[in-house]
Amino acid sequence: MSHAILLPERGVVEISGPDAISFLHNLVTNDIQSLAAGEARFAALLTPQGKILCDFLVFRRETTEGPLLLLDCPRSLAPELLQRLNRYRLRANATVADKSDAYESLAYIEEQTPQQENLLTLARDPRSPLMGWRAIAQRGTVDAPGDHASYDEHRISAGVPDGAVDFPYGDAYPHETNMDRLSGLDFKKGCYVGQEVVSRMQHRTVVRKRITPFRFDGETPPAAGSEVIAGEIKIGVTGSHWGKEGLALIRTDRLEDALAAGQKAQAAGVPLEFSVAKS
């Protein structure tokens, strides 16, 4: 039995027309040209300075009028994403529309392929095997009895940030949000907005700021947005949490220096234990 989880915080932007695929491919961080129906790509639209304006999952859907793209994005950012894509459209033969009122996003946290009717798209979540499947359907056509908390549990365990909570849109680089580790960056495709900055960061020895998992033992977790302190030095800020696990955007170099000096990290008085992967 497939248990869909409704993601009401997500919106959908549709791109259609003969140039839809090439138009988006030339703008975002991942390869859209090779995207096939039944697949999803994680990607982002960046500022020219290389910071994330909006991240999303991209699905390709085949129709009688040709392929179109569905972008599963934060619903609060859908109107702004629509405006920005239209600014770049110029002479491209493509139409961009906000379909958030007509479509809804669904997650399936399970290994087997969900057996559901009425889905417009269905694909493996490309960010992590722990994330299961993602789908888009006409609003109200799919029963979604699944628990959103189970989605957050898998997301946080997989180290997948939620941009609404875990990092600031417009002020975070893709590497800082682990897009390089979550299949969100293609370093072989051609130019796109912000590509030069992303390429420079890829070739650095160390990325100093990262979304980093933590564990805590207290009864009450630190609230999202709490300063993470090691000794007297601020090293980051907490984001989302579930159970005894959470994510924080931290300066990993400062954390490593603090640990080497025997100092412990804490936020809002709660001791935190970080798991830091090498960049």
**Scanning the structure block, which residue is given the tokens 């839809």?**
20
Q: Which pLDDT value is given to residue 82?
A: 98
DSSP summary character for residue 72: E
Domain ranges of the chain: 5-156, 174-274
Beta bridge partners of 56: 43
Q: Which pLDDT value is given to residue 260?
A: 87
Could you tell me if 274 and 250 are in contact, meaning their C-beta atoms sit under 8 angstroms apart? yes
Residues of the chain with pLDDT under 50: none
Q: Can you give the pTM of this predicted structure?
A: 0.94
How far is residue 213's CA from residue 248's CA, in Å, rounded to a whole number?
6
DSSP summary character for residue 107: E
Q: What residues have CB less than 8 Å from 115, skipping those under 6 apart?
A: 2
CATH code for the structural domain at 174-274 = 2.40.30.160
Could you tell me if 97 and 78 are in contact, meaning their C-beta atoms sit under 8 angstroms apart? no
What residue type is 98 in one-letter code? D
Burial class of 47 by CB neighbour count within 10 A (0 to 12, 13 to 18, 19+): middle
Q: Which pLDDT value is given to residue 3?
A: 87
Q: Which pLDDT value is given to residue 117?
A: 84
- HSE-up of 132 (CA within 13 Å, CB side)? 23
Q: How far is CA 135 from CA 43, 154, 278, in A?
A: 16, 17, 33
How far is residue 170's CA from residue 55's CA, in Å, rounded to a whole number?
11
Q: Which pLDDT value is given to residue 219?
A: 82
CATH class of the structural domain 5-156: alpha beta
Could you tell me if 229 and 265 are in contact, meaning their C-beta atoms sit under 8 angstroms apart? yes
